[in-house]
Amino acid sequence: MTGAEAAESGTGAVLERGLDTSNGLDFVRERLALVGKTLFLVSFGFYLFLLASMVLVGGAPFVAVVKGPIASGHLAASWTMGLLWLLARRARLSVRSLGTLDAVSIVVACGFLSIMTMNDEGQILQVLLALTVTVMIRAILVPSRPRRTMVLSALAFLPTVVVCIARHSPTALLPGFTAAYQKQYMTLNTVLWSILGTTLATIVSRVTYGLRQQVAEANELGQYVVEEKIGGGGMGEVWRARHRLLIRPAAIKLIRPQVSGDPELLLRRFEREARATAALKSPHRCSSTTSAPPRMAGCTT
């Protein structure tokens, strides 16, 4: 492996690290599309409200408002989420691509939001609220480990903190106080809000990830992960599943514990059915296994 290939592989591993793909890549892709759709609609709605309030109500020139940092930063962030929505919705992506899309879209969109504070310190509070909503929605919808959420949330707030610290013009938010004190107050306020937003997103991600793990454990039968019921009969039910280690589809038959009759007769009937299933010669030939309790037959397709 060349140095460039090793660097690319290392970067990809970092970007995908912590992304929870236990429910499959399609589930992650659908959640990323939902994040992009939700944040695009919310952000673009606020953008239209901003234009209407400043131009129609405030009487500001339309061109000046659109070209200003507040509107341009807001619009760029909105379209970044719109692009996430389109890419995650239409493309079949690998786990590395999904991880990259998740990380880059959130950090870039929040970086565009920080532009809104460059010429107007009064926008910092609105931007901090927007950043908090963004990282919280991602933490709720995207399946990932808490550490990944913490890192991405911190990176999302970082550009706004940097812009706030780098500003040299005095603020006028606290009349009667010196410019130096107002600068320190605004910087400290921005840092504390960033820490709070990152902490809240991490806690939400931790709770969500824990609940997902509990559900996954409850749906496991030996080496199989049960996904969806596909049929049933007098003796039991058939569920679609996948092998946890081989990552291939399977069919699991569960025998109801309350089935009446001679246990030995039921067991022989079940074994005959399993042998008949294993003897199938179609392209979907099955291999059957039994286990108890409950008795089940695993049929890989």
> What is the three-class DSSP state of 78?
helix
Least confident of 78-92, 158-172, 233-247: 233-247
Answer positive or negative: Cα dihedral of 36, 37, 38, 40: positive
pLDDT of residue 215: 66
Q: Which pLDDT belongs to residue 221?
A: 61
Q: How far apart are CA 15 and CA 149, in angstroms?
A: 12
Please state, in angstroms and rounded to a whole number, the distance separating the CA atoms of residues 241 and 299: 9
For 274-288, the DSSP string reads: HHHHHT--STT----
Residue 171 gets which letter from DSSP? Answer: P
**Which one-letter DSSP state was computed for residue 57?**
I
Fold of 223-300: Phosphorylase Kinase; domain 1 (3.30.200)
Axis-axis angle for helices 179-218, 124-141 (nearest 10): 10
Give residues with Cβ within 8 angstroms of 212, minimum separation 6.
20, 22, 23, 143
For the cut 50, the answer to whether the pLDDT of residue 127 exceeds it is yes
Crossing angle of the two packed helices 95-114 and 25-51, in degrees rounded to 10: 20
Q: Please report which confidence band the pLDDT of residue 171 belongs to, taking 50, 70 and 90 as the band edges.
A: low
Spell out the residues 6+ positions from residue 10 whose beta carbon is closer than 8 angstroms to its own: none
Find the mean pLDDT for residues 258-280.
68
| Locus of tokens 């040299």 | 168
Statement: residue 301 has pLDDT above 60: no
26-35, 188-197, 200-209, 211-220: segment of lowest average pLDDT: 211-220
Q: Which residue has the higher pLDDT, 194 or 181?
A: 194
- 48-66 average pLDDT score: 86
Reported pTM: 0.70
Flag the least confident range among 123-137, 194-208, 279-293.
Answer: 279-293
Q: How far is CA 152 from CA 20, 105, 172, in A?
A: 15, 10, 32
Mean pLDDT calculated for residue range 146-162: 95
Mean pLDDT of 176-194: 85
Element (H, E) at 170: none
pLDDT at 292: 38
The DSSP line for 105-147 is: HHHHHHHHHHGGGSS-GGGHHHHHHHHHHHHHHHHHHS-B-HH
DSSP at 238: E
**Would you call 187 exposed, middle or buried from its count of C-beta atoms within 10 A (0-12, 13-18, 19+)?**
middle
Distance CA 294, CA 301 (A): 22
CA–CA gap between residue 55 and residue 65 (Å, rounded): 8
**Residues in the chain, total:** 301
**Which residues of the chain are in CATH 3.30.200.20 domains?**
223-300
Q: How confident is the model at residue 261 (pLDDT cuts 50, 70, 90)?
A: low
C-alpha 152 chain-centroid distance: 11
Tokens of 191: 């840092």
Predicted confidence (pLDDT) at residue 101 exceeds the cutoff of 70: yes
CA 296 to chain centre: 34
Q: pLDDT tier at 4 (50, 70, 90 boundaries)?
A: very low
For range 94-116, the mean pLDDT: 92
Of 219 and 295, which is predicted with more confidence? 219
Half-sphere exposure of 109 (CA within 13 A, CB side): 30
**Is the pLDDT reported for residue 142 higher than 60?**
yes
Question: What is the separation, in whole angstroms, between the first and last Cα of the chain?
Answer: 36
Which two three-digit tokens encode residue 228? 């969806």
Q: What is the DSSP letter of 292?
A: T
